[in-house]
Amino acid sequence: MEFQVPDVPLLKIFSFLDAFSLLQASQVNRCWNRVAENDHLWRNLCLKKWSFCNFSQCLGSPTWKQFFLKQRKQEYRMALAKPEDFTFREASGNLGILGPMAYLSGNDHTVGGQEKSVICTVSSKHVLCTWDVQEGTMIWSSPVQQSSIMHLATLPQMHLAFTVDLEGTVKVWNCQDEDALATLAMPRTCFSLEICLTNDGPFLMVGNSEGDIYTLTVPELRGVSKVNAFKYSVDLLHCSPDRKWIFASGTHQNILPMVFLTECLLKPSEGKSPLCLSIPFSSCCRACWAPRKTSRVTVMYRRGSFKKTGFTTFDLMAKRTGGRTDIQAHQVATFLLPVHMESPIWMGVGDGNMIVFESGPYLFLFTISGHLLQRFEDHQRTISNLWVDSVHILTTSMDDSLHLYMWEDEGRYPYLKSCCHLEHIGSDLAPSCIINYVRLSTDFIFSVGSYVSKAICDNMSIVCVVSRIRESSILVMYSLHM
How many Å apart are CA 366 and CA 323, to the nearest integer?
A: 41
Q: In sequence order, which residues have a C-beta less than 8 Å from that of residue 257 and are 6 or more positions away? A: 236, 247, 248, 249, 278, 279, 281, 284, 287, 299
Tell me the pLDDT of the chain (482 aa) as tens digits. 556 788 889 999 999 998 999 999 999 988 999 999 999 999 888 888 876 554 444 455 678 999 899 888 989 999 999 999 999 899 877 788 888 889 987 555 555 556 789 999 999 999 999 999 999 999 999 999 999 999 999 999 889 999 999 999 999 999 999 999 999 999 999 999 999 988 889 999 999 999 999 999 999 999 999 999 999 999 999 999 889 999 999 988 888 999 999 999 999 888 788 999 999 888 899 999 998 888 999 999 998 766 789 999 999 999 888 778 889 999 999 999 998 899 999 999 988 899 999 999 999 999 999 999 999 999 999 999 999 998 999 999 988 889 999 998 766 777 999 999 998 655 443 333 333 333 333 233 333 456 778 999 999 999 999 887 767 888 999 999 87
- Give the number of C-alpha atoms closer than 13 A to the C-alpha of residue 218, restricted to the C-beta side: 30
Residue (of 350, 359, 449) closest to 393 by Cα position: 350
- Give the number of C-alpha atoms closer than 13 A to the C-alpha of residue 464, restricted to the C-beta side: 32
**According to the 3-state scheme, what is the secondary structure of 360-400?**
CCEEEEEECCCCEEEEECCCCCCEEEEEECCCEEEEEECCC
Residue (of 122, 82, 106, 88) closest to 389 by Cα position: 106
pTM above 0.85, yes or no: yes
How many Å apart are CA 476 and CA 482, to the nearest integer?
A: 18
Instruction: Please give the angle made by the CA atoms of 316, 241 and 286, to the nearest 5 degrees.
Output: 70
- Cα 231 to Cα 71, 243, 249, 477: the distances in Å are 44, 26, 11, 41
Residue (of 7, 53, 62) closest to 30 by Cα position: 7
Burial 120-155 (b: 16+ CB within 10 A, else e): bbbbebbbbbbbbbbbbeeebbbeebeeebbbbbbb
pLDDT, one tens digit per residue, over 421-435 is 998 655 443 333 333
How many Å apart are CA 347 and CA 387, to the nearest integer?
A: 8
Residue (of 422, 406, 420, 424) closest to 465 by Cα position: 424
Residue (of 284, 471, 452) closest to 382 by Cα position: 452
How many Å apart are CA 482 and CA 475, to the nearest integer?
A: 21
Residue (of 335, 416, 319, 435) closest to 376 by Cα position: 416
pLDDT, one tens digit per residue, over 143-173 is 999 999 999 999 998 899 999 999 999 999 9
